[in-house]
């Protein structure tokens, strides 16, 4: 089974080297793709010096959803079977990746989410964000009937079929909670596995403090319109 | 006694506000309007709806702003809403214009590079 590791990254020059080293150690037989989402630091120069990494450079910042979408398109152009996604800021330790990949290799699920809230170990996110995460947990349980504890986790793995099924409707920004709904509505089986996450090692979060309110409004509006009253299929 | 009896204009404005909200939701459902561009529209129409339901709110706003002719407050709110929307879209258009310029430059350079590579391939 061929595995691709996708890292969407924006201005993460300081942390990306550590993440790539971790992948080289813990996931040696994988194809690694970094989508540099229009970084203004030295990301492009650094990535271009890594012969074993495929670097895809956006000409400007498209947001996390745009970067993941580029990665998905690239993945579909290859013959890889499984895509593992992790962040370039060091939050998702590559040594945990085997836990996320295992259910896919054992064909126990179509998609796997690495959750920091199952064993409640490691970085648990800020108090304010945890409120939003609890609300999303309640909504996914009542609307989808799924017990997803970490709807905002970007530590995920999927099969090729899942990516083919969700790429058309993949959101341009703040994609994580909506992605869970898309996968569930398309009938893919999703499971969560416990992971240990670290606090971001550097760079800026794709979601600022004020943005988090806008994020919740937008996500709730999408969930309500597309998944509660139903959208165009 | 209710100082604001329900009149035809109030019924019409409630129906109008609800219709506008439903219209925006319909456009999102049909994927003709993206959620990020619908939030401000919905916010403004919800304010219209609240004002339509609670007619006393216009009196309150007028007193707050020191306006003696209440319909003027309504016009100020309408202008403020329209101004906000226009500013919002101007910012989006400016951002898109900048990105389009960069995209055209990038595409031109990629095209030139491909032409050069093809020429080199022909000579070899």
Model confidence at B122: pLDDT above 80? no
Model confidence at B69: pLDDT above 80? yes
Residue of A nearest to B43 (CA): A217
- Pick the more confident residue, A34 or A229: A34
Q: What is the mean pLDDT of residues B41-55?
A: 92
- pLDDT at B45 (0 to 100): 94
Model confidence at A232: pLDDT above 80? no
H helix or E strand, kind and range, residue A57: strand A53-57
**What does pLDDT average to over chain A?**
89
Residues of A in contact with B29 (CB under 8 A): 225-226, 229-232
Residues of A in contact with B36 (CB under 8 A): 172-173, 218
CB A146 within 8 A of CB A180: yes
- pLDDT at A200 (0 to 100): 67
- pLDDT at A210 (0 to 100): 76
- pLDDT at B119 (0 to 100): 87
Contact A226 B29 (CB under 8 A): yes
Model confidence at A183: pLDDT above 90? yes
> Least CB-CB distance to A221: which of B35, B98, B99?
B35
* Residue A105 CB partners (closer than 8 Å, separation 6+): A1, A82
Sort residue A135 into left (φ over 0), alpha (ψ -120 to 50) or beta. alpha
Residue of B nearest to A232 (CA): B30
- pLDDT at A203 (0 to 100): 58
A233 touches chain B (CB under 8 A): no
Confidence of residue A207 (pLDDT cuts 50, 70, 90): low
Model confidence at B1: pLDDT above 60? no
Select the residue from B29, B35, B40 to test the A interface by mutation, using most A Cβ atoms within 10 A: B35
- pLDDT at A165 (0 to 100): 96
First to last CA, chain A: 32
Whole-number Å distance between alpha carbons of A100 and A25: 16
Pick the range with the lowest mean pLDDT from A7-21, A30-44, A112-126.
A112-126
């Amino acid at each position: 089974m061929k595995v691709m590791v996708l890292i969407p990254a924006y201005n993460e020059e300081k942390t990306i080297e550590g993440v790539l080293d971790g992948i080289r150690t813990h996931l040696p037989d994988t194809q690694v793709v970094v989508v540099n989402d229009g970084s203004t630091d030295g990301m492009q120069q650094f990535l271009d010096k890594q012969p074993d990494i495929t670097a895809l450079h956006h000409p400007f910042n498209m947001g996390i959803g745009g970067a993941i979408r580029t990665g998905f398109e690239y993945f579909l152009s290859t013959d890889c079977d499984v895509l593992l996604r992790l962040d370039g800021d060091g939050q998702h330790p590559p040594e945990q990746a085997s836990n996320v990949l295992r259910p896919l290799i054992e064909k126990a699920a179509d998609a796997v989410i690495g959750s920091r809230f199952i064993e409640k170990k490691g970085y648990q996110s800020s108090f304010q964000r945890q409120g939003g995460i609890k609300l999303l947990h309640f909504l996914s349980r009542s609307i989808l009937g799924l017990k997803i504890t970490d709807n905002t986790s970007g530590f995920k793995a999927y099969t090729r079929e899942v990516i083919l099924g969700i790429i058309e409707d993949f959101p341009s920004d703040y994609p994580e909670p909506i992605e869970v709904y898309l996968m569930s509505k398309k009938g893919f089986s999703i499971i969560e596995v416990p992971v240990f996450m670290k606090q971001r090692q550097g760079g800026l979060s794709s979601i600022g403090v004020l943005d988090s309110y806008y994020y919740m409004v937008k996500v709730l509006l999408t969930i309500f319109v597309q998944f509660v009253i139903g959208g165009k299929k | 006694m209710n100082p604001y009896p329900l009149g035809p204009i109030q019924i019409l404005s409630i129906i109008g506000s609800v219709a506008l909200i439903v219209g925006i939701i319909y456009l999102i459902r049909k994927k003709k309007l993206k959620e990020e561009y619908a939030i401000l529209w919905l916010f403004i129409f919800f304010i219209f709806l609240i004002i339509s339901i609670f007619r006393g709110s216009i009196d309150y706003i007028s007193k707050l702003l020191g306006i003696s002719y209440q319909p003027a407050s309504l016009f100020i709110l309408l202008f403020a809403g329209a101004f906000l929307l226009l500013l919002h879209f101007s910012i989006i258009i400016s951002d898109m214009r900048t990105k389009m310029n960069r995209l055209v430059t990038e595409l031109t350079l990629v095209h030139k590079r491909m032409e050069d590579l093809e020429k080199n391939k022909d000579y070899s």
